[in-house]
Amino acid sequence: MAKNKFSKEWIQQHINDPYVKMARQKGYRARGAFKLIEILDTEKLMQRGNTVVDLGSSPGSWSQVARERMLGAGGVILGRVIALDVLPMEPIAGVEFIQGDFREDAVLAQLEKQLGDQPVDLVISDMAPNLSGVGSADSARIQHVCDIALDFACRHLTADGALIVKAFHGSGFSQIVESFKRHFQRVVERKPKASRDKSSETFLVGRRLKS
């Protein structure tokens, strides 16, 4: 009974959520689009001509934002957006999509092959592992996801490139921040307005790789 009550409360909150309503109005696939928009606007990131890699892209709202930002005259994308997720994603015009688990070497190799020798301006990651509720195990999973995104960024970003990842406050968070600080000249934490108050999610932004 308590579970049903919780579900009803969650559904009610979801229906009344202003970001859910705005996402519907603007044609975004998820309210998370507004999290990315706020971070991009605050940090003045992403512009036409950029190459962007979207990790954990499904259902596609972050890729939609990236595509929007790179639209030129006549609806032509000036730049490149490559999206990847273990889940399927409905096609987005001009966005290249790879379905697979980023944690697997074969999938990573496929992404790198698709990139070719093209350096990346921005890596965005909304990836989050399935959580078990066991604190130590979950923090290790979260850290692993952030580590592989960071490793990919370090190997493919331009010197002035940036990485945005979703992390969660709690055990292991400070270690993720330290990893970022070892590799980037500037590291900031962002909690966008569209993040729910009860959520411990925090987005880390790393800019300009250390040589």
Residues contributing to the annotated binding site for S-adenosyl-L-methionine: 60, 62, 85, 101, 126
Structural tokens at position 134:
């066991």
186 HSE (CA, 13 A, CB side): 10
Burial 73-89 (b: 16+ CB within 10 A, else e): eeeebebbbbbbbeeeb
Residues 108, 57: Cα–Cα separation, whole Å: 15
Q: Which of 8, 35, 44, 166 is catalytic?
A: 166
Report phi then psi at 189, rounded to 5: -105, 140
Report phi then psi at 179, rounded to 5: -60, -45
Report phi then psi at 203, rounded to 5: -100, 130
Structural tokens at position 150:
């960071």
Q: Is 35 a catalytic residue?
A: no
Residues 21, 119: Cα–Cα separation, whole Å: 36
Report phi then psi at 53, rounded to 5: -115, 125
In terms of C-beta distances under 8 Å and separation of at least 24 residues, what long-range contacts does 5-8 make, across chains too?
none
Residues assigned a catalytic role: 166
